[in-house]
Structure 1
């Protein structure tokens, strides 16, 4: 019996509890949001057509925080993750209730990243370059900000952010037992269960959106899967599984900068937006991303088992960037030909 199967067999009552808490809290918030008018009203850049309650990702935040507080190994790292998650979740929740200026929102994200970076500087065993402490801490802050904003920006169609997180967590759990990564395994299981509990409200047809509260907490938690990995192999799997989101965000940012667009303004140029605007359903695009991310994470695991770590990482990055570039150009051209750009 594999270590992963044994761990899941032992942990399934806890996972069910986490999923149930996520669902109950998210559903309670959905009903409250309907009564109080906390709604995401569709605009000309929206991917949805019906005003929908937002902020229900508080269910993910509460459930995952509860699991980490109860079952993660005690220590500075756990406390830092909980404090960072609390801050970034509150920043997101405030933005869900009343839109924050972009500068304030980014400052709140950076404040949340700081305790995580101090407790978990980027220094897994096997990293080719040993960074000085100050640079390792700065790299961790950058990693948290990258993941938080990636999940925030990519949370634009039904289920995509939650299913993507499930794909990353599932990939990480395959290797989480390597090197005694108890904190990584606990956080991966907590996020996976919380997302599965939330998804009935968000997929295949959203009755509630997770909002910034949920996407912020997911982003921070997934960044911790990279930063808390004892060895570079575990961090590489988390990065490989997340590559489709990270490449989409960074690539789209680069294209918008090239075209002189205001980077803080709303837009619909992410690949998933181009595909849905071309007529594909939210569900199909969401599951395509989840499959893409599972394949990348699984491919990285197989490359490591074959002793081809660096080659595998390079091939996955090349394949992800190439696929994103080709698909982005294809669907952009398609929309321009139809006069829908």
Structure 2
């Protein structure tokens, strides 16, 4: 019954986003919200942006329809005397409402940026404002289990950490969105990781949200995969990072476990590593952190002769491997968990280094251009 309810939520998100995307595409063309070719961009003709609106719509409808279903499933399961790890608490929908309101704001910020453009500072302020909204509805990292043993009481620092978490993942997904379908696919895989982890923990509402996210991204992916007919834009990339951050924080809020944060973080190993390398690279060369370049992992793979599709598939596979490894590691306790996840990320960095992906920057060829500004 749990699986069928997740499938229903995913199906709703998929159908809605798939149906809404052509309307968003038409609207973007009508109002000239287009990514123009030239410069670092690989596409030859103007491509509509604002694709995140379709994902937002699919996710919103799926959640509003799926949560009552999740509660009905919980009642049915408990009637069969099956004990769930995370019990239903009256008012649990309130944090989810906060997450939806924050997602609405981050989507609005993305629409404004895609349509008229905003400065990095203005975008950051919008991200912070969106991150603060869930805090007002009870979502926050107050207490976490320590993988080394015991509990970590965060106090007021938990509010700061929660805000940073939302903003960081929003920007991580924004930076990785540089090849057709890459950010959408990675978010789908990471969402699947969260779905499996939360359902195994008995956290039905969080799993339902993850299923809604998966369906919404899958409904959009046929339009976004190479050759893309529409781009996510900042509207979509920031929304995906925000929702993944929200799902992990919601899981931590409900179960007080660091695994709720570590599992999706490991699944997002590719964009996290890429962002860390970008920040380090720009700091070492004394360039602004938000200044775009063509030295991301995807650019280096393209310069090594891979096509856009091949590059996307390679990074999908790495993300999938990290997601599976994170799920397996979640059954390990204390120091072993941290060691395993640390080893995975170190192995990823070492592999990138050995294949020349971390070598000194060099001018990008035409094949190394991309469709993102970062």
- Corresponding residue of 2:145: 126
- Displacement of 1:70 in angstroms is 3.1
CA distance in 2, matches of 1:68, 1:327: 42
Corresponding residue of 1:114: 132
**Equivalent residue for 1:222?**
244
Structure having the larger proportion of residues in helix: 1
Instruction: Say if 2:199 is the partner of 1:177.
Output: yes
Residue 46 of structure 1: CA displacement? 1.9
d(CA) in 2 for partners of 1:337, 1:214: 26
* Equivalent in 104, 107, 118 of residue 89 of structure 1: 107
1:134-213 equivalent positions in 2, closer than 5 A? 134-213=156-235
Out of 35, 46, 50, the residue aligned to residue 41 of structure 2 is 46
Which stretches in structure 2 are left out of the alignment for 5+ residues?
72-91, 369-374
Query: Structure 1 stretch 316-325 or stretch 231-240: which is displaced more?
Result: 316-325
| Count, aligned residues | 335
Residue 332 of structure 1 and its aligned partner are, at CA, apart by: 4.8
How much does 1:88 deviate?
Answer: 0.4
Alignment match of 2:13 (pick from 18, 30, 36):
18
- More displaced 10-residue stretch of structure 1: 318-327 or 183-192: 318-327
Matched residue, 1:3: none
Of 308, 311, 322, 2:350 maps to 322
Q: TM-score, normalised by structure 2?
A: 0.83
Report deviation, 1:87. Answer: 0.5
Q: Which residue, out of 43, 52, 57, partners 1:57?
A: 52
Of 333, 339, 344, the match for 1:311:
339
Gaps (5+ residues) in structure 1? 1-5
Structure 2: how far apart are the matches of 1:278 and 1:311? 32
Structure 1 residue matching 2:156: 3-state secondary structure: helix
Residue 125 of structure 1 deviates from its aligned partner by: 4.2
Asked if structure 1 preserves the Cα contact closer than 8 Å seen for 2:210 and 2:247, the reply is: yes
- The equivalent residue for 2:302 is 276
> In the alignment, does 2:268 pair up with 1:250?
no
If you compute each CA radius of gyration, which structure gives the higher value, 1 or 2? Answer: 2
Q: Which has the bigger relative contact order, CA under 8 A and spacing at least 6? A: 2
TM-score by length of 1: 0.90
Are 1:278 and 1:331, in contact at CA under 8 Å, matched by a contact in 2? no
Distance in 2, Cα, partners of 1:165 & 1:83? 20
